[in-house]
Amino acid sequence: MSHWIFTEEHQMFRKAVRNFLEKEVAPQIEQWEKDGETPSSLFKRMGELGYLGIKFPEEYGGSGLDLIMEAVFTEELSKCGAGGVGAAIGAHTTIAMTNIWRYGSHEQKQKYLVPGIKGDLISALAITEPSGGSDVSAMKTTAKKEGDYYLLNGSKTFITNGINADYVIVAAKTREEPVHRNVSLFIVETNSEGYSVGKSLKKLGWRSSDTGELFFENVRVPKENLIGRENEGFLYIMQNFQYERMTLALGCIGASEKALELAIQYSKERIQFNKPLSEFQVLRHKMVDMAVDIEKARNISYRALYLYNKGENCVTEATMAKAYATEMLNRVTDQALQIHGGNGYMMEYPIQRIWRDARIQTIGGGTTQIMNEILTKQLGIIS
């Protein structure tokens, strides 16, 4: 559906992205799912087309466009049929490189952001650890300053692009206390001595993105690779969570639209009791309910996007968008699979992949339960 937030320029861009994805991405998805990764060639191709630098300044090779334009790209990418592709590209542009853009030095942007925008280097963000997920402040990875370097020790897990990344933004403790003022972010090149990658993790969904374990054993990180100020990393992570969660919500809207589209198409083609499924009232109404659910998520998410693009604080709106849109996606994909019946459970039907890919959304980027806890404070329910 059209929406007032998008201009004619946004809609023209949407058509261009959709055309590219249909021609160059969709035909490759099955192979990438088997390979367990999005190839570096796609990053390179998207870099050539300017898709990796939509919001980044022209000074560093970006397009300098608004965040709404990047939102269009996010929505369309999520409709390509494989959540893993969107996860791989999003981890690079939205989650990792954004930290360099917002908090990094000019030298860091020249060295890492510029080739990242071109697709010559792939990036990842490493926060989650084996001993804890949602509790960022409980991380055990440390970075101790020694002369012109920081000695990095610890491990990370569930890192999207972790297998193939050329550099990783790593969160580590640079002192013990005070909590929330003791974490720093570092750019770590993956060819550094003492840096190693564990096994490629096998996942229920997002199979076309590589997910890995990372290990650091006395990795010498040059002091100039510290992003922003020492001990301010937790603040940077929390600030970027607003946009990350909003992006996840937008991706859910795109994926749910694809699921509904497949359900409608199947209901018109599948004949049962001598008539198409679309002629059964209960199924027609089910699809209407799915469309309404998507529209609710869309308006909550676009409201957050509008405020964020204006530079306003939108913690409440972005958190609501993430909480509602991710749960909505699970509902819609589950109903879409149900409409497919037994065929929906078969691997040759794409709805099964969209259903599997959807499940991570209420976990990654902050669980629904964490979102609800944030909202209880934002709404003044608890102090």
Other residues' Cβ atoms within 10 Å of the Cβ of residue 231: 16
Tokens at 177, concatenated: 């206390």
| Residue 216 to residue 97: CA distance in whole angstroms | 21
Whether the link from the prior residue into 350 is cis, omega within 30° of 0, is no
51: helix, coil or strand? coil
Note whether 187 and 112 are within 8 A (CB).
yes
Type of residue numbered 369 = Q
| Residue 163 to residue 72: CA distance in whole angstroms | 28
Q: Is residue 244 annotated as a catalytic residue, yes or no?
A: yes
Note whether 157 and 129 are within 8 A (CB).
yes
CA dihedral over 37, 112, 92, 126, signed as positive or negative: positive
Tokens at 70, concatenated: 């990047």
Tokens at 294, concatenated: 């998507």
CA-nearest of 258, 170, 163 to 213 is: 163
Tokens at 88, concatenated: 């791989």
Active-site entry in 33, 37, 70, 244? 244
Tokens at 232, concatenated: 């301010």
Q: What are phi and psi of 187, to 5 degrees?
A: -90, 120
**What is the DSSP-derived secondary structure letter of residue 94?**
I
Helix ranges restricted to H, the chain? 8-20, 29-35, 40-49, 67-78, 83-90, 97-103, 106-108, 114-118, 233-269, 281-309, 315-340, 351-358, 368-378
| Residue 382 to residue 376: CA distance in whole angstroms | 6
| Residue 201 to residue 222: CA distance in whole angstroms | 29
6: helix, coil or strand? coil
| Residue 364 to residue 91: CA distance in whole angstroms | 12
| Residue 37 to residue 35: CA distance in whole angstroms | 6
- Enzyme catalytic residues: 244
